[in-house]
Chains A and B, each alone.
Chain A
Amino acid sequence: MRKVRRKFADAAALSITSLLDILTILLVFLIKNISMESQKISAPQNMLLPTTITNQELIDNGLTVLVKVFPDKVLIGTDNINAGTLTQLVSDATSREIIFNYMKNEANQISLLNSRKGTNYQPCMLIQADKSIPCQYITQLVKIGAGATFANIYFSTLQDENWLRQSAQQAR
């Protein structure tokens, strides 16, 4: 009887079921954590936010208007409208007026939304600024926001429970 010899052994099938399980769990976790709202108020790139221990939630009925303060520019709104430089913010009244008009318009829009839908949304200003920016510029923005009827002004920070301890260690 003739013996038939196989040239190659059968290729072992790669079991990817366990990998698929991991990926499924990971996918569900990531989808749960991502929302469009968190994208809007995430930490901007090229900006070092200050660190704080305390963390406050936005008021329940608050609608935020973002102001991003970079060392070289000020961007307003979620569309990142360029409102000029920091120097212009202090020295140029037109630049301040642009920001004020934008903020006032946003506050009016929120007011119109309230009257149309019978809601009670409060305009909130959320300032995201680099920690190396002098306070005189932040003061200007706070003044503009308060003038444009923004009663609640928030400063975006990074939560870090250890900054005070680290500061003490650095001082030693």
Chain B
Amino acid sequence: MVYRPSEGRNQKKQTPPIQPDLVPLMNLFITIVPFLLTIVVISQVAMVALNFSTPGGGGPGGSSGGIGGSGPEIKVIIMASAGNQLYPGFEIRGWEGKTVSIRNQGGGTKFDFVTLNSSLAAIRKSVSGDQITVVVYPDVLYGDLIQTIDLCKLNGFPNVIYKPASVSYGSGG
């Protein structure tokens, strides 16, 4: 006697597993990934800040801009050209009544940031305040100014006052 096959039994033949069609998804990814790669910001953009919120006003042209502090005012003067009492380099004033001159090697345009760094580190050890004034002449390049401010902040002077040098142009002769 022959019985019909049970209905509960899977009567289909074993078929190989069907792979999902990934091609449309791949197409989408191949479009999106290069697009995102083009707009991604690879370089880390940092910032150097100046604060002008002083109790007594101030600002770049003011005589007492920045955050108030005690002790002598230490100034880092950045000069780019030679002239009347000027030379390309740095001059640090107000540290124990001394004036530290850091001239560019050979009078060139390359500033000696290494010596400035070591001088600022020495000043930091003997000075209690955390404020420093950066006086900049008009022809100094922006990159040199920012790197000077960077060194000031790096050596424990977070409160940097930006002050343009007072330049007077005579008629000559």
A-to-B contact residues, CB < 8 Å? 13, 16-17, 19-20, 23-24, 26-27, 30-31, 33-34, 38-39, 41-43, 48-58, 69, 126, 129-136, 138-139, 142-143, 146-147, 150-159, 163-164, 167-168, 170-171
Contacts and interface: CB of A to CB of B under 8 A. Distances in A.
A89 to B, nearest CB: 12
A interface SS class:
mixed
28 contacts: A16-B22, A26-B33, A30-B33, A30-B37, A34-B40, A43-B43, A49-B45, A50-B142, A53-B150, A54-B154, A131-B142, A131-B143, A132-B142, A132-B143, A134-B138, A134-B139, A136-B138, A138-B142, A139-B136, A139-B164, A142-B50, A151-B52, A156-B45, A159-B44, A164-B114, A164-B151, A168-B114, A171-B114
Contact of B49 (A51, A132, A142, A154): A154
Interface stretch (B5-13, B53-61, B122-130): B53-61
Contact of A146 (B32, B52, B113, B114): B52
Contact of A52 (B26, B138, B146): B146
A146 B141 contact: no
Interface of B is mostly: mixed
B164 A135 contact: yes
Interface residues of B, number: 51
Interface of B: 19, 22, 25-26, 29-30, 32-33, 36-37, 39-41, 43-53, 59-61, 105, 110, 112-114, 117, 136-143, 145-147, 149-151, 153-154, 162, 164
